[in-house]
Amino acid sequence: MSLQQLERLFMSVNQRNVVKVLDLSNTALRGLAAFQALARMVASNTSITDLYLENCHLNDVAGNLLLEALNKNTTLMEVRLDLNDQLSPGVVQAVSLKCLLNSQPTIIRDLLPRLQRNDPTLEELSFNGHPMPKFGWTWDLILKALEANTNVRSLCLSDCQIDCTTVDEVGRMLKVNKGITSVDLSCNTIGTRGAEEFAGLLKDNPRVTNINLRGNQIAVRGARAFITLLRTHDTLLQLDIESNGMDPEVAQKLMDAINLNRGSLVLKRYYYQTLDNDPQCDQIDLAYECLQQKGWVSHAMGLLRFGLCKNTHVRRLHLSSCDIGDAGCQDLASVLAVNRHIDTVNIPDNGITDPGAVLVAKALANNQAVTEVNLSHNNITDVGTATWVQVLQQNNSLTSIILTSNPISEAMLQCVADVLTLNSQPLTVKQALPQLRDNTITELDFSVSVDGLWHTADSGKMVAAVLATNTSLTKLNYRGNSLGPQGAADIAQSLARHPSLLYVDLSENSIQDRGALEVATALAHNMSVTSINMEHNAIGEAGGNALVAVFEDNSIILEMMVEHNKISDTLRADIAWQCNLNKRPKSLKALHLLVKKGMSQPLSLDLASHCYDDESLMMLLKELQKLPDLAKLDLAWNTITGKGARALAGWIGRHKGMMELVLSHCPIGNDGVMALADQLQHNQSITKLNLRSTGMTDAGLTVLVECLQQSNDTITDVDVDLNDISDQAVTDLHTALEMNRQPEAFRQWEPVLFADKPSVKTLDFSKMLSYEKLGDISANILARALMNNHHIFKVNLANNNITQEGCQAIADVLKTNTVIKVLILTNNKFGDVGGQALVSALEQNDTLEHLEVKHCGISAAVMTHLQFLMSLNHCPKVLKSLAMRIENNDPTLTCLDFSRTHEHCSRPFDNHATLELVRLLRTNTHICSIDLSYNQIGQQGAAALATYLKDSQSVQHLNLRGNHVAATGAVFAAALKTNIKLMTLDLSECQVPADVLTDIRAQLAVNQTTPSASTIPKHLKQLNGRRPHPSMYSLEDDSFYHSMEYHRDLEVDILEDAMHDMAVLQSHPQIAARGGYTAAAPGSRLFLLN
């Protein structure tokens, strides 16, 4: 493109002023004229934003012309210069930066060049409200320009979205910059971290004097970072941290640090030394000359207040002529109220008036560290001084107060001097006297010196004078002072009538005998002191005797310490004993005086509810050793425990006259009861013992019972109510006590009875003396012993006083005892009631063989019943078990099975049992079957059965197999001539002659009829010895006899009998046929085996 074409193109673009993008890429712009034409178009154009000059053969000349044109152009934002090999990179970069600058706000375009030129007229630089970090390279250019700039004094970046990262860049810039003194960073988001980093970067920058950080959320940590900065930064005079959520105390410390930079550097040094508790700083001296330069005199105490409140090294404050005024006194008072290390306060010539003086005085009321105060050359009057007088009465450390050159009257100054004079005495005296006067103190401890001064007779006299009218003090401690005899005498006189004093300590005061005598005289009248210490006082025998005599009239003193004096061991022991007596119940001391004076001795001591504890009891026992005639001791409702009970038990073991001991409601527990039981083995005088509600359990009571059973036979009454003991344990106790109440002869047998010795087999109490006869209690004891005895088989209780109660106990024994065979109760008094008890027992007992109850008031009917039961006791048990049912004609009992009784009964079924059975059967009409096989029935029993069968209308079957019937079989044959009911009679193995058996069978054949299932008797003996054991079924159980097995065995038995007597088959033709037998002729008794 020619030059003319280029100029026309450029002219057209500028005239239209609407072209935004101009692309001249690949257009050869050669020569200076073309470059100048391009530069003129760029300089005057206001519409083009993008200019493309790629591959246009431009060189540095064209680039520089373009740069000059861009200085006048504000719209061109991008120039592409690629593929122009003759352009240097520096020129290309400069063009790009110019274009980039055109894309920034006007303020940036205006100020950045001035910054870069270090324009001397640009002293204030403000980017308020512009988001500087978003400008990217422009922001970096600004910071870089500021680093080299030396003319800008004030930099405003308020509300510029400065955060913790950006503020760090600002801080690094300020570290290099040499001119900026004021920085405004308000309304940004610097935060705590940013504030800490910014403060760190300002550490070595002495030029910045004003910083605004309002509204930056820097919080407490950020503020503390600036506080740390201000320790070494002396030029920062203004710091705005409002609206940052700041703790008020931290904010105040920060403002104080700023104020210190505005004031004296000497004050600043003291400020940080006090804050740091610097041990090298032991005084603060702020003379007026040091502070007047910057006018911060009146603020000195306000600035030092925070550090001094916690400082422990500053001892002296020198603030003379500092014009602190009353406001400074307020700050000073707040320091003195908590600081206990400052001892000297010099504040003369400070314009202080009464309010300021009062504030300082009240602060020292409880401050015992300050010893000197200088308030001279101020404006203090009598009003303010009066407060100092009141404070001096409480403060004992102040030894010097200078009030010269103040408008104070002479009288008021004298009052101050008088109070200071009192401070020469021990501090404790000054503190105590007002309280003693006002009765507001209860304890005085003069044993510790807080100021190095000790009490002498003079201070003792001062205290005694006030103590004489005091009514509140309860404890007075003068230990380790120097009262001497006179001081002790003064104190003692004030004690004589003191109504409330309980404890007095005069030890280590060298009061000697004179002082001890005065104290003894006072204690004889004092009724309040319970404890007094007079150790280490050089008191001799005279003083000791006086102190012992005190106790004759004084029962209040519980403790008197007189160790390490010149008093004998006997006197010391006597004093200790008297004190111990005063600690104990009054009755103990009264008893002591009674014994000491030899008055008449009591036979009974009632000490119930007298507050005796273990120690008191032990002392009482020592006194009781002098009362040998004491018969009763009542200690109920005291606090005696197992320890005291053990001591009491030891005394009981030695004291032989005691008859009654009462310990009810004393918590002696099992230990105490066991200890008493151990000693009661050796005591044969006590008969009554009360242990109600003593906390014992079965364990303790068991030991006591063992004692009563084995060793002690004199105690007959023991009360153990309201204890946690079982009924069984109580029963055992009652048994033991009952035994102790029994005749001596019976008691001698008691251990033998309960021991169950194999050698003792008989008991005979039939020959007791009239006053020793056994009664019901003895019978009960004897019964309990026999319950568990396995060896005694004969008991003879004839000729005693046993009534129905005792007889019932013996009868109860018979119900379970199987050892006793002989029991003789002749000539007792139990009557029919006792007899009926024996009847009930014998209905269960089948082992008693002999019983005698003559002359016991038993009626004939009961006697007969007893005889009947005793008769049954000689029979097998199975017969006795069925006797009542047989005799009462029980319709459900139809069969009796007594076969082989010797196999399961202790007694065999012999003649006696058979006779009893016959007697029972005489009134029975229901029994139809009796099995007595394989027993020991002889001819006498068989004869009785045969006689019974003559008239029997019920028995149909009788089995006597295996007995000793022998010749008596003929009696059965005779009986069957009149008996038509008996169907079967088994006399096998009975040695009955054959002809008799034949005759019997013939008679039975006549009685028999054809049997059917309904006529087969229940519980017939099992044939061929295969009958089940009796335990397998009851006599009423007939299921076995209806079984097929039973009928099969019945047939076999009949066929076996036919071998002895073929006539048997005549009654059973069907069975005969099945067995292979046929009748020789119709109706014949002869059967043939087929």
Q: Are 211 and 238 in contact (CB under 8 A)?
A: yes
Task: Phi first, then psi: give them for residue 763, nearest 5 degrees.
Answer: -125, 130
pLDDT at 1026: 35
What's the pLDDT at 1063?
Answer: 53
Which pLDDT does position 103 carry in this prediction?
Answer: 67
CA 960/CA 930 separation, integer angstroms: 9
Report the sign of the C-alpha dihedral through residues 880, 885, 886, 892, in that order. negative
Chain mean position to CA 379: 67
Q: Return the pLDDT at 696.
A: 94
Q: Are strands 1077-1079 and 1087-1089 parallel, antiparallel or unpaired?
A: antiparallel
Which residue ranges in the chain fall short of pLDDT 50?
289-291, 293-295, 1010-1038, 1041, 1060, 1080-1090
Place of tokens 């940036």: 108
How far apart CA 495 and CA 523 sit, in angstroms, is 8
Contact (Cβ atoms closer than 8 angstroms) between residue 652 and residue 680:
yes
Closest Cα to residue 1063, out of 976, 993, 1004, 983? 1004
Alpha helices in 118-210 (DSSP H): 137-148, 164-176, 191-201
The identity of residue 280, as a single letter, is Q
Residue 585 tokens read as: 């119940």
CA distances for 400 relative to 358, 395, 847, 867, angstroms: 17, 12, 117, 124
Sheet of 531-533, strands arranged across: 443-445, 475-477, 503-505, 531-533, 559-561
**pLDDT at residue 475, rounded to an integer:** 94
CA nearest neighbour of 841 among 792, 795, 808: 808
Report CA-CA distances (Å) from 506 to 463, 469, 489, 520: 14, 20, 11, 13
pLDDT in tens, 559-611: 999 999 999 999 999 999 888 888 888 887 777 777 776 655 667 888 898 88
Going along the chain from its start, the domains and CATH numbers come out as 1-103 (3.80.10.10), 119-262 (3.80.10.10), 263-422 (3.80.10.10), 440-583 (3.80.10.10), 588-741 (3.80.10.10), 747-869 (3.80.10.10), 892-911+919-1036 (3.80.10.10), 1043-1090 (no CATH)
Predicted pLDDT of residue 30:
76
Residue with tokens 């201070």: 459
What are the structure tokens assigned to 289, written together?
Answer: 């000359």
The Cα 780–Cα 189 span in angstroms is: 106
- Identity of residue 1055: L
Q: Are strands 443-445 and 475-477 parallel, antiparallel or unpaired?
A: parallel
Dist CA 252 CA 271 (whole Å): 14
- In a 10 Å sphere around its CB, with 0-12 CB exposed, 13-18 middle and 19+ buried, how is residue 392 labelled? buried
Q: pLDDT of 754-793, one tens digit each?
A: 777 888 888 888 876 655 677 777 788 788 888 888 888 8
Residue at 121: amino acid letter: T
The predicted pLDDT at position 652 comes to 85
* One-letter amino acid for residue 409 of the chain: S
Q: 31 in the Ramachandran plot: left (φ > 0), alpha (ψ -120 to 50) or beta?
A: left
pLDDT at residue number 826: 92
Q: Which residues pair with 763 in a beta bridge?
A: 795
pLDDT at 567 (0 to 100)? 93
